[in-house]
Structure 1
Amino acid sequence: MKKIFFLLIITLNFSCNYSANKKPEKHIYAKDGLSFELPQYWEVEKDRPVDGVAYSRFISVSNNEPFADDSYFILTAVKSAKNLRFTLDNLIKQSRVSFNKRKMQFGLLSQPKPLVFGKHKVLRVGFETKVITTRHKGCLSVFDYAGKTYSVISSAEFKDAKENIAVVDAVIKSLKVN
Structure 2
Amino acid sequence: MIRSYIILLLITCFTVSCSKKEENNTKLSITQYQKDSLSFDLPVGWKVKQDYTNKTGRYLELDKYSDYKVKSTLAIGILHDNVISDSVIASQIRQLQFYYQKVNFKLLEQNKKIQLGKYPAIMTSYEADDTKNKVYGKICVIQNNNKTISVQIVDSETKEGLSEYNTIFNTFTIR
- The two structures have a TM-score, normalised by structure 2, of 0.77
State the number of aligned residues. Answer: 165
Cα offset, 1:147, TM superposition: 1.8
Could you say which residue in structure 2 is the equivalent of 1:3? none
What runs of 5+ residues in structure 1 fail to find an aligned partner?
A: 1-5
Deviations 1:154-177 (A, max 9, x none): 111134x436x3222222222101
RMSD: 3.1
Matches within 5 A, 1:5-84: 23=26, 25-50=29-54, 54-67=55-68, 70-84=71-85
Cα offset, 1:38, TM superposition: 0.8
Cα offset, 1:123, TM superposition: 0.3
Cα offset, 1:112, TM superposition: 1.5
Cα offset, 1:98, TM superposition: 2.4
Matches within 5 A, 1:1-178: 23=26, 25-50=29-54, 54-67=55-68, 70-100=71-101, 103-159=102-158, 161-162=159-160, 165-178=162-175
Deviations 1:128-156 (A, max 9, x none): 11112321112110011222101111111
Structure 2 SS opposite 1:70: strand
Aligned AA for 2:157? F
Q: Whole-Å Cα distance in 1 between the matches of residues 109 and 135 of structure 2? A: 15
- The two structures have a TM-score, normalised by structure 1, of 0.76
Contact 1:80/1:144 (<8 A) preserved: no
Structure 1 SS opposite 2:110: coil
Aligned AA for 2:141? V
Assess, with a 3 A threshold, how the Cα gap between structure 1 residues 89 and 81 changes in structure 2: closer, same or farther.
Answer: farther
Contact 1:81/1:87 (<8 A) preserved: no
Aligned AA for 1:98? Y
